[in-house]
Structure 1
Amino acid sequence: MVTEAKKRANKKWNDKNKDKMTYFRRKSDSKNFILKYATEEDLDKTLEYIQQRKNELKNK
């Protein structure tokens, strides 16, 4: 059971931190996909994407 005050506080935080919420949700989605659903082909492609992103970040 969540109190009304806690609900309001959660809503206020969520409204104020939409970018963080999106980041957390996408991070969780990608982890779950990799661990539960990805095929070997998906994993190979994901490794390519990871390397590409690492290179982009390195060159910033």
Structure 2
Amino acid sequence: MKALLWLLLAAATAANISTSFAFDGVKQIAVSLSTGAVVIGAAACLALLRHRDRQART
């Protein structure tokens, strides 16, 4: 699960960075917003998993 989230985070980050070079206008904004949402979601899931794992240790 964590490996998939890390892969998703890396791919979405790379896609978000490349949209500024590949697209212009509304298309660039739409793709950037969607990949940004995926980045935020994956990062939040990873943070929650880390928090849950830390609580399980104690």
Bin the TM-score by the shorter chain.
Answer: 0.3 to 0.5
> What is the TM-score when the length of structure 2 is the normalising length?
0.38
> What is the TM-score when the length of structure 1 is the normalising length?
0.37
